[in-house]
A and B are shown apart, each in its own frame.
Chain A
Amino acid sequence: PLSHTIHRTQPWFHGRISRKVAHSTIEKQGPVDGLFLLRDSQSNPKTFVLTLYCQQKIRHFQILPSEDNGQLVFSLDDGNTKFCDLIQLVEFYLLNRGILPCKLKHHCSQVSL
């Protein structure tokens, strides 16, 4: 479905990069609280990961898809807060902290190797 691919063109979506690469990408552009990127999970297909720098720490949050009344939704807090796609998720956490240690603020740009 569209909701699984719509984020691919977004500047904050880094695709299939490893946790290690995500770390170094953040480190290279940090340290700023709220620096973030999203990526495909390498261990768990169809799930995504938010990598966020906050308070001198890089943290990874799993974004899990699930079904909600026949509609696909994404959540990083066990379904308490749900989104129809990753663009909505990013827009929400730019404005609300929710369970995150801080709000999203700046996205990492993609560095071509």
Chain B
Amino acid sequence: EVRGLSTQQQGSRILRVKVFAGIGLAKKDILGASDPYARVSLYDPINGELTSVQTKTIKKTLDPKWNEEFYFSVHPKQHRLLFEVFDENRLTRDDFLGQVDVPLQYFPTENPDLETPFAFRDFLLLPRSYKSRVKGHLRLKMTYLPNSNGEDDNTEESEESEPSWEILDQQDINVHQQQLPLLPSG
């Protein structure tokens, strides 16, 4: 079974992350509501942050609707995603409104044949220290794109059985010597 070795970076998958909304966020400003945005960071628990991207700021609300979508090339067993919600302030430091930290290996793979394969999930926003006062949920959807060779239609099962070659690329930066992944069309 050598599928996935040739064109893709070994063991990497494309994760589609949709940040829908914040629900019932904590009120930080005395006057008026917050101006929330979400920061999504892909990180490796050992080597630190790899990529981080920010949604737009939605003005004056505790229930922001971002509806933004990002794609990340990830190693499902190695990487994690951290979502942090902040209240944007012009003059002072942005206020922390809560975080969600998730491992990546349990998300389903999209089935292009199904219309609504998997709905969003509301994640409880958590504090990052004893000082954080947080509240509410973050509505997210995370799914893997089918493997780019286009033939691989059995999905979650193939994720769970651990192919032996996947372990190799965790050892060093050899993974970066591979060719960049070819993108699936569309």
Contact = CB atoms under 8 A, between A and B. Distances in A.
Given A90-B180, A91-B180, A84 B49 contact: yes
A89 B51 CA distance: 8
Contacts of A71: 48-49
A6 B172 CA distance: 12
Given A6-B173, A10-B176, A81 B72 contact: no
Given A90-B180, A92-B51, 20 more contacts: A10-B176, A11-B179, A71-B49, A80-B53, A80-B54, A81-B51, A81-B52, A81-B53, A82-B51, A83-B50, A83-B51, A84-B48, A88-B50, A89-B51, A92-B53, A94-B180, A95-B14, A95-B71, A95-B73, A105-B183
Interface in B71-129: 71-73
A92 B14 CA distance: 10
Interface in B164-186: 173, 176-177, 179-181, 183
Interface string B119-151: 000000000000000000000000000000000
Nearest to B175: A87
A82 B82 CA distance: 14
Interface string B25-56: 00000000000000000000001111111100
Contacts of B73: 91-92, 94-95
A82 B143 CA distance: 22
A67 B47 CA distance: 16
